[in-house]
Amino acid sequence: MSSWREFIRDVEPYVPGEQPRGDSVIKLNTNENPYPPAPGVERAMREMDPAMFRKYPDPSAGMLTEALAKRYGLERDQIFVGVGSDDVLGMAFLTFFNSQKPILFPDVTYSFYPVWAQLFGIPYETPRLDADFRVKPQDYKRDNGGIVLANPNAPTGIYLPLDQVEDIIKANQDSVVIVDEAYIDFGGESAVPLIPRYDNLLVVQTFSKSRSLAGMRVGYAMGQKELIQALHNVKYSYNSYTMNMPSMILGTEAVKDEAYFQETTRRIIATREEAKRRLGDLGFTCTDSRTNFLFITHEKAAAPELFEALKNNGIYVRYFPASRTKDYLRVTIGTEEEMEVLYKFLESSCLDRI
C-alpha cells in the first residue's frame, strides 16, 4: 500500500436524508419547514443587487448578529453565526472539546455528534436513554470533557424539562455544555434565559426548521462572551468568510418577522397534535414529540417495510436502522394537505399488507 493512504484521515461520514429532485414527492424525511420563508425574505431577494457580490461578505455577519441579539435580548458579542447549525456545532466541538476526558451525549441522538467526535479525535461516551427514550440527568454527573444535549432530542422528539437541563449545566461547571435547540421553537422552554447565570452554557439554534431557510444555511450559537470569543478565534483560524451575503440578508429578514414565525410554528404544532391522534387511530404509537416531526412505531407493520411502501408511493420519511431505532420511522410534519395524503395511504389498508 502506498504510504499516503496510511495517512489519510479516515472517517465514517454522517449520512444526510435524501433530497429527491423535483416537487412530485411528499417530502417528510429531513424536517424542513413545509411553509415558505417570511414574505420579507422574498422581497429582499428581489431587491438584491448582484453587483455587491464583487466584494467579500462581512466576516462577522454584523447585520444578522444584530437582529439575533435584539430578538433574544442579548449583546452582539454573545452571538456566533455560522453556515447552518451543523457548522456551528462542528466549530463548537473543535473549540471546546479539547481535553483527554470523554464528552457525553445520549446513545440515541443527532447522529452527527459521534462523527464530529471521531473527526476531531475527541473521546466520547454515550449514556443510554431510558426505555422511553428519556435522558437520565444522573448519567451526566460524572467526570467528562463536555456534554452535548439536543433538546428536544432527535430523532425521538422528546423534550427534557428546563429545570433538568439546568441541573446538568449546574453539575458540570468545569465543562462546556452544548444545548442543541434545533427544534425548541416547536414546544419547550429554551435555555437562553440561563445564559447570564452559567458561563459554561452554549445554546445552538438554526434557521433550517422553524424559519424555513434550510437551503440558505444559517445557524447560530448563544452564550457568554468568553465562549463566543473562543468560537470566533477558531473560526477565524480556519475560514473567515463562511457566510455568504444572501444568507445574511435573507436570514435577517426572517428574524425580523416575528408574527409570521409565530403563525407558522403554531400551525405546525397544531398539525403535529392532529397527526398524533390520526396515527394513533391507525395503530401507531408516537413519542410525546415537541418538534416538527413524529417518531412512530406500529404494532403490526415493520418499519423498514413501511418505509419502502411509503417511498414507492412518493412519500419520503426517515428510517434509522440502528438497534434502538429500527422499529421506528421519523415523519416530518408537512402541511395539512400533505399529512392527509399520508393518512389516506396508511388507511388504504397498506398496513395490513405489510
- Binding site residues, ligand PLP, CB under 6 A: 31, 84-86, 110, 150, 154, 180, 182, 206, 208, 214, 219
Q: Which is nearer to ligand PLP, 162 or 341 (CB)?
A: 162
DSSP 8-state assignment for residue 300: S
Owner of C-alpha cell 468545569: 174
The residues, ordered by sequence, that sit 6+ positions from 133 with a Cβ below 8 Å of its Cβ are 108, 153, 156, 158, 287, 295
Rounded CA-CA distance 101/106 in Å is 16
- Judge contact between 337 and 272, C-beta under 8 A: no
Q: Which is nearer to ligand PLP, 172 or 206 (CB)?
A: 206
The residues, ordered by sequence, that sit 6+ positions from 4 with a Cβ below 8 Å of its Cβ are none
Residue with the shortest CB distance to ligand PLP: 84
Q: Which is nearer to ligand PLP, 282 or 288 (CB)?
A: 288
Q: Which is nearer to ligand PLP, 144 or 247 (CB)?
A: 247
Q: Which is nearer to ligand PLP, 89 or 227 (CB)?
A: 89
- The H-or-E segment that residue 330 falls in is strand 329-332
Name the minimum Å distance from CB 318 to ligand PLP. 11
Q: Which is nearer to ligand PLP, 212 or 298 (CB)?
A: 212
Q: Which is nearer to ligand PLP, 140 or 207 (CB)?
A: 207
DSSP 33-50: -SSPPPHHHHHHHHH--G
- Judge contact between 307 and 320, C-beta under 8 A: no
Q: What counts of helices (H) and strands (E) characterise the chain?
A: 12, 12
Name the minimum Å distance from CB 251 to ligand PLP. 11
DSSP H helical segments within the chain, as ranges?
A: 3-6, 39-47, 62-72, 84-96, 113-119, 162-170, 225-235, 245-256, 258-281, 303-312, 336-345, 351-353
Name the minimum Å distance from CB 158 to ligand PLP. 12
Name the minimum Å distance from CB 112 to ligand PLP. 7
